[in-house]
Copies of this chain bind each other. A is one copy, B any other.
Amino acid sequence: MSKTSWKTSVTKIQPNEVRLRGYRIDELMGRVTFAEAIFLALTGELPPPKIARLLDAMLVSSIDHGATPPSALAARTAASTGAPLNAAIAAGILSINRYHGAAIFDCMGVLEEGLQRAAASESNLDRVAADLVAEYRQAKKRIAGLGHRIHRDDPRTRKLFRLAEELGVANSGVAMMRAIHQAFTSAGKELPINVDGAIAALLVDLKLPRELANAFFIMARVPGLVAHVHEEQTRERAMRIIDPTEHEYDGPPARSVD
């Protein structure tokens, strides 16, 4: 073995055999959903069914948020100059950072800090949350996961939390997030828990490492970026001026799954 030899625990490739985290990929195909395979790729284990269902909901929640987010605009801008699809998607992903999508990482940090304080001090979450919120307000720092440019009651958050509670998956992460939101409201500032905050709370309860926080948003949003890039490529003329707000929806009318 040479001195630059290294090890990987993701996938084993042999002629005519591909094993992801130990499982034959052709055995996984047809038996597990894409969301389950994602969880397997990231954590090393397949999720129990109730977590699988929550993962699907989490990924669906963030699949797209219209044409105004910077990631959609950057992807469309690149596409408009003639970029191939992969380059336009890359430009979109490069626009997912601290202020867009990547708040999940920061919010998990706040939640983990809160839970550690609660464990260390044997305080209840409400008290810890009140202290945290007071500290952030004093330092004039935003708490990631609260507030949204458009929504005052984010329907994705509401649904994710209800689903997590129905499935029995909601735990201290969700409780801490709710406590912080409550403390914020008590302090006289009404800001909704946004979808980043909801996903952060659920990732804490799923015990996913915080370093993978933003990966969730990126994986979820790539299909939405593909839809925008494809629409730009097929519907708009090259090099148009892309107004970030002056657009209207003209797709299928409001409808229901049933």
Q: Interface residues, chain A, CB within 8 Å of chain B?
A: 1-2, 4-35, 37-38, 41-42, 44, 46, 53, 55-57, 59-61, 63-68, 70-71, 73-74, 77-78, 80-91, 93-102, 149-156, 158-160, 163, 209, 211-212, 214-215, 218-220, 222-224, 226-228, 230-231, 233-236, 238-257
When the two chains form their complex, are residues A98 and B82 in contact, meaning their CB atoms are under 8 A apart?
yes
Chain B residues lying within 8 Å of A26, measured Cβ to Cβ, are: 61, 155-156, 158-159
- Chain A: interface secondary structure? mixed
From the candidates B74, B151, B215, B250, name the one contacting A74 in the complex (CB within 8 A): B74
Chain B nearest CB from A76 CB (Å) reads 9
Chain B residues lying within 8 Å of A245, measured Cβ to Cβ, are: 4, 241
Give Cα distance in the complex from A91 to B89, angstroms.
Answer: 10
From the candidates B35, B102, B234, name the one contacting A33 in the complex (CB within 8 A): B35
When the two chains form their complex, are residues A89 and B218 in contact, meaning their CB atoms are under 8 A apart?
yes
Chain B nearest CB from A69 CB (Å) reads 9
How many copies of the polypeptide does the oligomer hold? Answer: 4
Give Cα distance in the complex from A89 to B46, angstroms.
Answer: 23
For the A-B complex with A8-B67, A25-B155, A84-B84 known, give 10 more contacts whose Cβ atoms are closer than 8 Å: A4-B241, A7-B235, A8-B251, A10-B66, A37-B63, A41-B223, A89-B215, A212-B230, A218-B226, A243-B243
> Given A82-B102, A244-B241, does the pair A10, B67 have CB atoms closer than 8 Å?
yes
23 interchain pairs, CB-CB under 8 A: A4-B246, A5-B248, A6-B242, A8-B247, A9-B251, A11-B64, A11-B249, A11-B251, A13-B150, A23-B255, A26-B159, A27-B256, A29-B56, A29-B156, A41-B227, A82-B100, A83-B95, A84-B87, A87-B94, A93-B93, A94-B94, A209-B234, A222-B222
From the candidates B24, B80, B149, B223, name the one contacting A70 in the complex (CB within 8 A): B80
Q: Which chain B residue shows the least CB distance to A255?
A: B22
Chain B residues lying within 8 Å of A253, measured Cβ to Cβ, are: 22
When the two chains form their complex, are residues B89 and A81 in contact, meaning their CB atoms are under 8 A apart?
no
Chain B residues lying within 8 Å of A220, measured Cβ to Cβ, are: 34
